[in-house]
Amino acid sequence: MSATSSRTSLRTSRRRFGLLAGVGVAGLLLAACGGSGDTFSSSSSSSPAASASGAPGGADKTLVVGGANFTEMSVMEQLYGQLLAKNGYTVSYKAVENREIYEPALEQGQIDVVPDYAATMANFISKKTGGTGDIASADANETAQKMQPLLEKLGLSAFTPSPAKDNNAFAVTKKYAEANNLKTLSDLAKLGKPIRLAATTECPDRPFCQPGLEKTYGMKISEVLPLGFGSPQAKQAVTSGKADLVLTGTTDATLDQLGLVLLEDDKSLQQADNIVPVVDKKANTPEVKALLDKLSAALTTDDLTQLNAKVDAQRQTAQQVAKDFLASKGL
């Protein structure tokens, strides 16, 4: 995805979704994050399905599903949470701004399960544990295998990656692409013009975002407008002329209607940002793994695109979209 996380993938997006964060846990996370200024931007609450189907008196059957606060991740969080709830778990949700917040929360057991992007998370964990921050490849399973021992050092684990994949992608207006005969990121770089990029606050530090565009393509990024991952505000910045390029994902289903077009990643900057569940010790059980692996196997990239479209274009809720998808797959 993809700037890791998100994809590195960054993913706030395509439309924010979430419930209000619990004050106590939010305070814990603020302390855990060293007063960075990041706070819970959305939600902490048990879904109706979760409340109805929790195991009687079983604290060990209570799980917190969390992650980043943008459309695709909101849908994935609901998919994970509702599936777990249907199978006897009491589930609550905690969506936050970015990986820098939810990863420490995973380590501390304040969040138990997150959907993430394999390549982005792998490089993030590599760098955090003293590595190069460049261990991901185009192979999702290989990437997950390299990430696993590093996660284990932090008391975490990754389950089986899904075939569903959402890489970071970059878009310009169709009008600008046609006027300059742009089809690839290399074409844009060859113009030799300063580029204003609408992206996430983490983009300047993420290898799949500004550093990658500059190193791999030789682009001149003159400014990063911190407007989120594929968010309406970020895309509007490009359509209004305030930015030249916007960071989004390959599963963004709103681009055409906004007059935007993706530029091909012709030098393969992005890697295997397949969706992968990352869990803490509490959630690292055979039962939870079997459930989430089954869901991962049933999810395709086309499914992701359609689920995003239902939320962003059709204005359905992430909760309803997830419920319908699970039912359609017999989950």
Q: Where are the alpha helices (DSSP H) in 41-113?
A: 48-53, 71-86, 99-107
Q: Please tell me the predicted confidence (pLDDT) of residue 55.
A: 42
Q: Please tell me the predicted confidence (pLDDT) of residue 41.
A: 36
Strand partners, 44: 94
pTM of the model: 0.72
Is 14 or 309 the better-scoring residue by pLDDT? 309
Is 134 or 148 the better-scoring residue by pLDDT? 148
Q: Please tell me the predicted confidence (pLDDT) of residue 303.
A: 95
Whether the pLDDT of residue 10 is over 60: the answer is no
Q: Please tell me the predicted confidence (pLDDT) of residue 145.
A: 95
Angle subtended at Cα 144 by Cα 65 and Cα 66, rounded to the nearest 5 degrees: 10
Q: Please tell me the predicted confidence (pLDDT) of residue 84.
A: 98
Note whether 137 and 270 are within 8 A (CB). no
Q: What is the pLDDT of residues 55-97, one digit of tens each?
A: 444 447 999 999 998 889 999 999 999 999 999 999 999 999 8
Q: What CA–CA distance (Å, rounded) separates 110 from 310?
A: 30
Q: What is the pLDDT of residues 189-231, one digit of tens each?
A: 999 999 999 999 989 988 889 999 999 999 999 999 999 988 9
Note whether 6 and 229 are within 8 A (CB). yes
Note whether 75 and 114 are within 8 A (CB). no
For strand 220-226 and strand 113-117, is the pairing parallel, antiparallel, or unpaired? unpaired
Q: What CA–CA distance (Å, rounded) separates 306 from 165?
A: 13
Question: What domains can you pick out in the chain, each with its CATH number?
Answer: 23-165+275-328 (3.40.190.10), 168-263 (3.40.190.120)
Question: What's the rounded mean pLDDT across residues 263-286?
Answer: 94
Residue 140 burial by Cβ neighbours in a 10 Å radius (0-12, 13-18, 19+):
buried
Q: How confident is the model at residue 8 (pLDDT cuts 50, 70, 90)?
A: very low
Average pLDDT over the chain, rounded to whole? 84
Q: Please tell me the predicted confidence (pLDDT) of residue 271.
A: 87
Q: Please tell me the predicted confidence (pLDDT) of residue 169.
A: 94
Q: Please tell me the predicted confidence (pLDDT) of residue 44.
A: 41
Q: How confident is the model at residue 279 (pLDDT cuts 50, 70, 90)?
A: very high
Strand partners, 225: 198
Of the chain, the percentage scoring pLDDT greater than 70 comes to 82
